Amino acid sequence: MLDEVGQLSSVHVRIAAETAGVSVRTVWRWLAEARETGRGEMAPRRKGFTVSDELWDRLSELGGNVAALHRELTAQAGNGPRPVPSLGTLHRAVRREQRAGRVLQGVRPGRGRVDPAVYDRALAELALPGTVDEAGQAPPATEPVQAVVPDGSAGAVPLGVRLYVPGAHVVATSQLGEVTEALAHTVAARGIACVYGDAGQGKTVAIHQALALLPRRVPARQAQVAVKPALPQLRAALLTAFGLPATALTNRTDAGDRALIDAFSSPGVVLIDDVQRIAAPELDYLRLLADAPTTRTSLVLCGAGAERTLARAPALASRVLTWQHVPRLEASQVPAVLRLFHPLWHTAADADLLYADETCARGNFRTWAKITSHAYAALDQRPGTGADGALLSRACSRLGPNP
């Protein structure tokens, strides 16, 4: 309609492209087709190549390596009438399946003796292989979020958390879903979010899941801050997160600040975990960066007691758009969530799990991850036994007096 009255500008096209999640060139092509055909609706696309269950299982076995799957399909092309898609088509088909919530089961519990190195890689992906919701289904992607891999620059957010036991899955609970929704809104509004709650409740897990669901064009970075950092240290952490020369700019106040203001002018997300380590004067420096007229980067502040820390910096607290609390697991969630978290709980009785939660874990997911690790090790030493009350008591006793 704007084009017909001669009021269409490139700004309108950029807004339409961001809203639709496509490139500016694609929107211009749509407009050209509309001018030519006189029809504003897009013509239905022909059904393209889809990944069958058989191919998806094979891709999982290959660790998600699409190129390796394509080489196998090409080698088998002479054994059947099915045509082989191009590598680009196969990549696009896999991305469509992942955006729809299909996951690659890339992490499987080992059999027999467990390699100790596996424990060092005990990572469960968020919105990546191994993520399931409380109903046991892959969580669907909500518009306009898409599966994402950070841009690979220095300080990129790591997509994983330590869960202490091989074969574990991150479960997309309702609490994690609320954080994902809140952060998606905050990033779209280019605001500041504060995610807080007790230690071990899953704050970092929830934030990584939310950042993994952002569109690919929105880079996510993490600033690693020290305990009680001075202003030069905080500036160095932010410079490192953006891949800027921290050593050369840390003690050059004007040059370092200009470099950060320029970096914050690009759309993106900067995560600062354990924000309770930062004192009030340094928090005010974050407020100055967020207040710059050119700032388009969202700040995500996370930590146990983060809300109390920001209360000591009222100027920054007043600019926080979203306050999101991550509560404990409810007792009614525990049995179902744990059975999705790890297969060893499939045989455990609800009463045993609820008793262990009431007396030891108290709805804390990190504590349950530790209990699972001890139970897994005990079952590996005594194959054939099940997860019963005695096993839970033994695992809980390893956590010390204050689990």
Q: How confident is the model at residue 23 (pLDDT cuts 50, 70, 90)?
A: confident
- pTM reported for the whole predicted model: 0.58
C-alpha distances out from residue 166 to 123, 196, 382, Å: 8, 28, 17
Residue 13: predicted pLDDT: 80
Better-scored residue on pLDDT, 94 or 113? 94
How far is it, in rounded angstroms, from Cα 72 to Cα 75?
Answer: 5
H-helix or E-strand spanning residue 138: none
Residue 174: predicted pLDDT: 82
> Backbone phi, then psi, for 266, in 5-degree steps?
-95, 140
Q: Is the dihedral of CA 366, 368, 371, 377 positive or negative?
A: negative
Q: How confident is the model at residue 384 (pLDDT cuts 50, 70, 90)?
A: low
Q: Angle CA(295)–CA(256)–CA(303) in degrees, nearest 5?
A: 60
Span 51-61, mean pLDDT?
83
Residue 365: predicted pLDDT: 83
Q: Which of 80-94, 325-339, 345-359 has the lowest mean pLDDT?
A: 80-94
pLDDT at 300 over 90: yes
How far is it, in rounded angstroms, from Cα 329 to Cα 201?
Answer: 8
Residue 117: predicted pLDDT: 39
Give the mean pLDDT of the chain: 77
Determine what percent of the chain is predicted with pLDDT higher than 90: 12
Residue 156: predicted pLDDT: 37
Q: How confident is the model at residue 264 (pLDDT cuts 50, 70, 90)?
A: very high
Residue 320: predicted pLDDT: 93
- Tokens 């007691």 belong to residue: 305
pLDDT digits (tens, 9 = 90+) for 150-201: 333 333 334 445 666 777 777 778 888 888 888 888 888 889 999 998 888 8
H-helix or E-strand spanning residue 193: strand 192-196
HEC-encoded secondary structure of the chain? CCCCCCCCCHHHHHHHHHHHCCCHHHHHHHHHHHHHHCCCCCCCCCCCCCCCHHHHHHHHHCCCCHHHHHHHHHHCHHHCCCCCCCHHHHHHHHHHHHHCCCCCCCCCCCCCCCCHHHHHCCEECCCCCCCEECCCCCCCCCCCCCCCCCCCCCCECCCCEECCCCCCCCEECHHHHHHHHHHHHHHHCCCEEEEECCCCCCHHHHHHHHHHCCCCCCCEEECCCCCCCCHHHHHHHHHHHCCCCHHHHCCCHHHHHHHHHHHHCCCEEEEECCHHHCCHHHHHHHHHHHHCCCCCEEEEEEECCHHHHHHCCHHHHCCCCEEEECCCCCCCCHHHHHHHHCHHHHHCCHHHHHHHHHHHHCCCHHHHHHHHHHHHHHHHHCCCCCCCHHHHHHHHHCCCCCC
Q: How many residues does this entry show for the chain?
A: 403
Domains in the chain, CATH or no CATH each: 1-40 (no CATH), 60-99 (no CATH), 116-325 (3.40.50.300), 334-397 (no CATH)
Span 220-232, mean pLDDT?
89
Better-scored residue on pLDDT, 15 or 324? 324
